[in-house]
Amino acid sequence: MSSRTFWVGGNWKMNGSVAAIKELTNTFNAGNVSSDVEVVIGAPFVYVHLLSETLRKDWAVAGENCYVKASGAYTGEISPEMLKDVGAKWVIVGHSERRNILNESDEFTAEKCVKALAAGLKVSLCVGELLEEREAGITQQVVERQLGAVVKALKEEDWANIVIAYEPVWAIGTGKVATPEQAQETHAAIREYLKTAVSPKVAAETRIVYGGSVNAKNCKEAAQKPDVDGFLVGGASLKPEFLDIVNAAQ
């Protein structure tokens, strides 16, 4: 087994209500989970404070996005400092829905990483290819381009506070899942890239997690792969089965 601590994140996306979150946190708080897993839940901005107040203290809360300034005339934006102020310890950056629906560039994503880390948040950095990019055989080029902007922007020591989430876009919310072999192959290639682009130490220590229609049924096999260090979970993180995914590596 790897010495890297298994990491499981939930990404609620634009879902939730006060009542639903209270019910779900009651379920999560009562759950019996391994102490060897780091668990982080990403909630919509308006619920971050509620979640940080009600969620079990051995789990952390994340914002689902942030802006690149601490404050100012940026109507509708949320700064990393604000997230930290209401109890978040992490932020999700570069999710494919930000990249592909809201047209956020690799460079903007990298700038968010820099600002979030400077504000004292840890970062779940999402990368991944579209279906046509996988079919064209350019998965690795796409992932390296996305990572490359971040590599340029960060110092080597910054990587201690980053988890890379590989999320093939064709597997998000579609019910299609990359096979454990496909996930392992891409994760191993990312690790190889980090070895030369940053350092062998960063490559060995950085956690690379898989995301894309992960559920309680399909997570166990992937969790056994040597370069799969956990999961970033969408829809299933809004259900009690999330507890089974947290325990997938056991």
Enclosing domain of residue 211: 6-246
Predicted TM-score of the model (pTM): 0.97
Q: Is the pLDDT of residue 83 over 90?
A: yes
Active site residue 167: yes
Q: Is the pLDDT of residue 23 over 60?
A: yes
- Is 184 a domain residue? yes
- Is 140 a domain residue? yes
- Is 128 a domain residue? yes
- Is 230 a domain residue? yes
- Give the model's pLDDT for residue 1: 53
- Is 23 a domain residue? yes
- Is 1 a domain residue? no
Active site residue 95: yes
Tell me how many domains the chain contains: 1
- Is 114 a domain residue? yes
- Is 145 a domain residue? yes
CATH number for the domain harbouring residue 92: 3.20.20.70
**Gap between the Cα atoms of 106 and 149, Å rounded:** 6
CA dihedral 45, 46, 50, 53 (to 10 degrees): 40
- Give the model's pLDDT for residue 175: 84
What's the whole-number average pLDDT of the chain? 96
**pLDDT tier, 99 (very low <50, low <70, confident <90, very high otherwise):** very high
- Give the model's pLDDT for residue 182: 94
Of 97, 129, 167, 187, the catalytic one is 167
Of 64, 95, 97, 187, the catalytic one is 95
Q: What is the pLDDT of residues 142-165, one digit of tens each?
A: 999 999 999 999 999 999 999 999
